[in-house]
Protein backbone atom coordinates (compact mmCIF):
# COMPACT_ATOMS: atom_id res chain seq x y z
CA UNK A 1 0.00 0.00 0.00
CA UNK A 2 1.48 3.31 -1.07
CA UNK A 3 -0.70 6.26 -0.14
CA UNK A 4 0.29 9.89 -0.24
CA UNK A 5 0.06 11.41 3.22
CA UNK A 6 -0.55 15.16 3.38
CA UNK A 7 1.56 17.17 5.81
CA UNK A 8 -1.39 17.86 8.09
CA UNK A 9 -1.88 14.13 8.64
CA UNK A 10 1.78 13.49 9.36
CA UNK A 11 2.97 12.73 12.86
CA UNK A 12 5.66 15.27 13.91
CA UNK A 13 7.24 12.66 16.19
CA UNK A 14 7.80 9.80 13.73
CA UNK A 15 6.65 11.31 10.37
CA UNK A 16 4.13 8.48 10.01
CA UNK A 17 0.43 8.94 9.15
CA UNK A 18 -2.08 10.16 11.80
CA UNK A 19 -3.84 8.41 13.38
CA UNK A 20 -2.45 5.34 11.55
CA UNK A 21 -1.81 3.95 8.06
CA UNK A 22 -5.19 2.26 7.82
CA UNK A 23 -7.25 5.33 8.73
CA UNK A 24 -5.22 8.34 7.57
CA UNK A 25 -6.99 11.54 8.65
CA UNK A 26 -10.23 9.73 9.52
CA UNK A 27 -10.05 10.57 13.21
CA UNK A 28 -7.70 12.50 15.48
CA UNK A 29 -4.46 11.04 16.75
CA UNK A 30 -3.23 11.12 20.33
CA UNK A 31 -2.22 14.24 22.24
CA UNK A 32 1.48 14.00 23.04
CA UNK A 33 2.61 13.98 26.67
CA UNK A 34 5.20 16.49 25.50
CA UNK A 35 2.27 18.93 25.15
CA UNK A 36 2.44 19.57 28.91
CA UNK A 37 6.03 20.71 28.61
CA UNK A 38 5.48 22.80 25.49
CA UNK A 39 2.08 24.13 26.74
CA UNK A 40 0.39 23.46 23.42
CA UNK A 41 -1.50 20.41 22.19
CA UNK A 42 0.65 18.39 19.81
CA UNK A 43 -1.20 15.72 17.83
CA UNK A 44 0.76 12.53 17.20
CA UNK A 45 -0.06 9.14 15.68
CA UNK A 46 -1.51 6.21 17.60
CA UNK A 47 1.79 4.29 17.68
CA UNK A 48 3.59 7.29 19.19
CA UNK A 49 0.69 7.81 21.60
CA UNK A 50 1.08 4.22 22.82
CA UNK A 51 4.87 4.55 23.03
CA UNK A 52 4.62 7.75 25.08
CA UNK A 53 1.92 6.20 27.24
CA UNK A 54 4.19 3.28 28.21
CA UNK A 55 7.15 5.60 28.73
CA UNK A 56 5.08 7.85 30.95
CA UNK A 57 3.65 4.94 32.94
CA UNK A 58 7.00 3.24 33.55
CA UNK A 59 9.01 6.44 33.94
CA UNK A 60 11.18 5.81 30.87
CA UNK A 61 12.60 8.77 28.86
CA UNK A 62 9.82 10.48 26.89
CA UNK A 63 11.81 11.83 23.91
CA UNK A 64 11.12 15.57 23.71
CA UNK A 65 10.56 17.57 20.52
CA UNK A 66 14.31 18.29 20.32
CA UNK A 67 14.73 14.67 19.18
CA UNK A 68 11.80 14.77 16.70
CA UNK A 69 11.41 13.44 14.13
CA UNK A 70 12.71 10.26 15.66
CA UNK A 71 15.22 8.25 13.60
CA UNK A 72 13.87 5.38 11.47
CA UNK A 73 15.72 2.98 13.77
CA UNK A 74 13.74 4.18 16.80
CA UNK A 75 12.11 1.36 18.75
CA UNK A 76 8.53 1.81 19.92
CA UNK A 77 7.02 0.22 22.99
CA UNK A 78 3.91 -1.55 21.81
CA UNK A 79 1.48 -4.26 22.79
CA UNK A 80 1.72 -7.43 20.77
CA UNK A 81 -1.17 -9.87 20.89
CA UNK A 82 0.36 -13.32 21.13
CA UNK A 83 -2.75 -15.47 21.45
CA UNK A 84 -6.46 -14.89 22.13
CA UNK A 85 -6.64 -12.98 25.41
CA UNK A 86 -2.85 -12.78 25.70
CA UNK A 87 -0.53 -9.89 24.96
CA UNK A 88 2.93 -8.71 25.86
CA UNK A 89 4.84 -5.44 25.77
CA UNK A 90 7.49 -5.42 23.05
CA UNK A 91 10.13 -2.89 22.02
CA UNK A 92 10.49 -2.86 18.23
CA UNK A 93 10.76 -0.70 15.15
CA UNK A 94 7.44 0.41 13.69
CA UNK A 95 6.10 -2.27 11.39
CA UNK A 96 8.37 -5.01 12.79
ZN1 LIG B 1 4.13 8.95 15.29
Whether 24 is in a domain gets the answer yes
Tell me how far the alpha carbon of residue 11 lies from the centroid of ligand 1, in angstroms: 5
Could you tell me if residue 56 is inside a domain? yes
Would residue 2 count as lying in a domain? no
Structural domain harbouring 41? 7-93
Look at residue 27 and tell me if it is in a domain.
yes
- Cα(23) to ligand 1 centroid in Å equals 14
Q: Is residue 61 part of a domain?
A: yes
Tens-place pLDDT, residues 5-57: 788 899 999 999 999 999 999 999 999 999 877 778 999 999 999 999 999 99
The alpha carbon of 39 and the centre of ligand 1 are apart by a number of angstroms equal to 19
Q: What are phi and psi of 16, to 5 degrees?
A: -85, 170
Measure the CA–CA gap between 6 and 39, rounded to whole angstroms: 25
Is the full-model pTM beyond 0.85?
yes
Give domain status of residue 1, yes or no.
no
Number of domains in the chain: 1
Closest CA to 69 of 37, 29, 42: 42
Distance 13 CA to ligand 1 centre (A): 5
Residues in CB range of 69: below 8 A, 6 or more apart: 12, 13, 14, 15
Structural domain includes residue 31 = yes
CA neighbor of 24 nearest in space, from 16, 35, 33, 32: 16
For ligand 1, the distance from its centroid to the CA atom of residue 24, given in whole angstroms, is 12
Amino acid sequence: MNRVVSEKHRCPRCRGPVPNLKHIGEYPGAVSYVSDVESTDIEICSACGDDEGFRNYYGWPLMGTESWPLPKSFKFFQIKHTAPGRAKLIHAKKGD
